[in-house]
Amino acid sequence: MAGISKHPLMRVATALLLSLGVVSRAHACTVDDDLDVAAEGVVSSFDIAESRGATKSMSCKLLVPGPHLQVTARRTPSAADMARADKIRALIREALAKYQDYRAALQDGYEIRFPNLNLKRYHFSSRENARASLQVFDPTRPTSLLYEKDHGSYRLIGVMFTAPRVAGEAELDRRFPVSVAPWHQHTNFCLANATPTRRRTARDPRFGPEGTIATAEECAAAGGAFRPVMFGWMTHVDLYDADEKE
C-alpha cells in the first residue's frame, strides 16, 4: 500500500491502525490477564487450569480497558518513539542473548511458572528484578523473560517489565514508550479465600482476573479477599519482528 513505512515497527503500527481502528501495539505482546497474575504466584496453577481452561483458551488478547484492567492512554507512536523502542529492543537482545538457552535463565534465578500447563507463552520470572524495578528501570533486568515452547525446549520471544503501581504515565513512558507498548495493571480482583471448598470456588466465575465481582462490597459479601491493584504496572515487549522469528 502506498505511503506505508518500510520500517518493520511502523509497518505493524500502520497495519493495526488500518485494520483495528485503534492505536498500534507494535511489538508489545498482547496481554494474558491470567498469566500476568499467575506469573507472580497470586493465582494457583489449579485456579488457572480449572477456572480459566488455560490449556485450551490461554491466548493473547488486545489490551482493552475494563473493571479488571487499567491501560495507559492510547497514543499514536511517533518516529522518535519507534526509534527509542528499537534502541531498547536492540540493547535487550544483546544483553540477554545468553537466555536464548532457557537453562541459563534458570541458573540466574529466573523461575518458570507452570511448566506443566500447555500455554501460549511461559513467564520465567525474577523476584530480585521485580524488586529492583520499583526503584529504577534497567532494560537488561526484566521482571520476566517470555518464552514459547519449541520442539521440547523453549524459545525466547520477549520480556515483561514492571513498574510501581503509583507510577504516573510520564514515568512509564520514560521507561518504555507507551505508544509502542502500552502499560497496564490488573485491578479490582476478588480472590477466593483458601478453604476446604477451594475446588468449588476456584471454578466460580465471580472470582479471579475476569470475575464478575469488581468492587470491595461485592467481594466481601462473597467471602473473598479484595485487591484494588495487583502488583503494579507492566508491559510486554516482543524482541523480534515477525520475519525474524522464522
pLDDT of residue 115: 85
In the predicted structure, residue 163 carries a pLDDT above the cut 70: yes
The verdict on residue 14 lying in a domain is no
What are residue 23's phi and psi, to 5 degrees?
A: -70, 145
Query: Which helix (H) or strand (E) covers residue 87, if one does?
Result: helix 79-95
pLDDT, tens digit (0-9, with 9 covering 90-100), for 117-159 = 888 889 999 999 999 999 999 999 999 999 999 888 999 999 9
- Residues near 58 by Cβ (< 8 Å), separated by ≥ 6? 32, 34, 35, 48, 52, 117, 119, 120
Mean pLDDT is lowest, of 56-60, 96-100, 242-246, for 56-60
Average pLDDT over residues 5-24: 34
The verdict on residue 23 lying in a domain is no
pLDDT of residue 242: 62
Mean pLDDT is lowest, of 43-52, 56-65, 111-120, 129-138, for 43-52
In the predicted structure, residue 53 carries a pLDDT above the cut 80: no
pLDDT, tens digit (0-9, with 9 covering 90-100), for 93-103 = 999 999 999 99
The verdict on residue 7 lying in a domain is no
The verdict on residue 211 lying in a domain is yes
pLDDT, tens digit (0-9, with 9 covering 90-100), for 164-185 = 999 999 999 999 999 999 999 9
The verdict on residue 1 lying in a domain is no
Long-range CB contacts (< 8 A, 24+ apart) of 1-8?
Answer: 7/82, 8/241, 8/243
Range of the domain at 89: 28-244
The verdict on residue 203 lying in a domain is yes
List the beta strands (DSSP E) in the chain.
69-71, 111-112, 122-125, 144-150, 153-163, 184-191, 225-238
Number of folded domains that form the chain = 1
The verdict on residue 3 lying in a domain is no
133-171 burial code (b ≥16 CB/10 A, e <16): beeebebebbbbbbbeeeeeebebbbbbbbbeeebeeee
pLDDT of residue 64: 75
The verdict on residue 6 lying in a domain is no
